[in-house]
Amino acid sequence: MLQVVALGLAVLFLLVGALFLPFLKISVRGISNTSSIFDAALAFSGPELGWLSVGVMAMIVGIPLARVGLILYALAPLLYDVPLLRGARTAFRWAENLRPWSMAEVFILGVGVALVKIVDLAHVDIGPAFWMFVALVVITLLQDTYMCRWSIWRELDRAPEPGARREVAK
């Protein structure tokens, strides 16, 4: 449980950092272009493709972020033996339901493929955000393997209800 919460916090920091630092930079004959993850997600502009930007943004940033938030919300109270926050179980269920739609690791593999395509064309510099994102994917995978759904559900079952605080005080 501690591992899950700790890894979740790490993901949160890495993700926010990775968003704003430069991700990749290419240069050909003096002309260069730096791109962040935001730029990649917002690459699809125009009337029809705009929706794709929203979707891509959600899949590589929004949903991973939401999952971490939901998991922390649901599990952090367990660490301190305080009553669950309101709707903690629903939060954890949503975190699990969103799992297939969180595609950060697919994105990283996509970056790899794109790099191979571009390398012939131009010189590519890898920015700090790239490494942060790679670390983030590794941590997310670790978190998903460490996290045993069944034991978490059991813990959530045992934990006191949101309103139980007053009873404990008595």
Partner 1 sequence: MSARRTYSAITARQMGLVGCTHCTKVWPKGTERCGRCGQKLDSRDRRSLSRVWAWWSIGLMAYVPANLYPMLVTKTFLGTQEATIVGGAVDLALHGDYIVALVILFASVAIPLSKFVAIGFLALSVQNNWRGSGLRRMQLYELVEFIGRWSMIDVFVVAIMVALVQLSVVVTIQPGPAALAFALSVVFTMLSAISFDSRMIWDSVADLETARGVDPGSAPRADDVQVPAARGPLTPPDAVPAPPTKTPAE
- Residues near partner 1, by CB under 8 A: 24, 26, 28-29, 31-33, 35, 39-44, 48-49, 51-52, 55-56, 59-60, 89-90, 92-93, 96-97, 100-101, 103, 106-107, 109-111, 113-114, 116-118, 120-122, 149-150, 153, 156-157
Task: Kindly report the number of other CB atoms within 10 A of residue 9's CB atom.
Answer: 14
In the bound state with partner 1, the residue whose beta carbon lies nearer, of 6 and 144, is: 144
Are the beta carbons of 36 and 21 closer than 8 angstroms?
Answer: yes
Helix (H/G/I), strand (E/B), else coil: 80:
coil
CB-based burial of residue 157 (10 Å sphere; 0-12 exposed, 13-18 middle, 19+ buried)?
A: exposed
Kindly state the DSSP code that residue 37 receives in the 8-state scheme. Answer: H
In the bound state with partner 1, the residue whose beta carbon lies nearer, of 45 and 170, is: 45
The Cα 104–Cα 108 span in angstroms is 6
Shortest Cβ distance from residue 169 to partner 1 (Å)? 26
Shortest Cβ distance from residue 125 to partner 1 (Å)? 11
Shortest Cβ distance from residue 89 to partner 1 (Å)? 5
> Tell me, what amino acid is at 111?
V
In the bound state with partner 1, the residue whose beta carbon lies nearer, of 9 and 42, is: 42
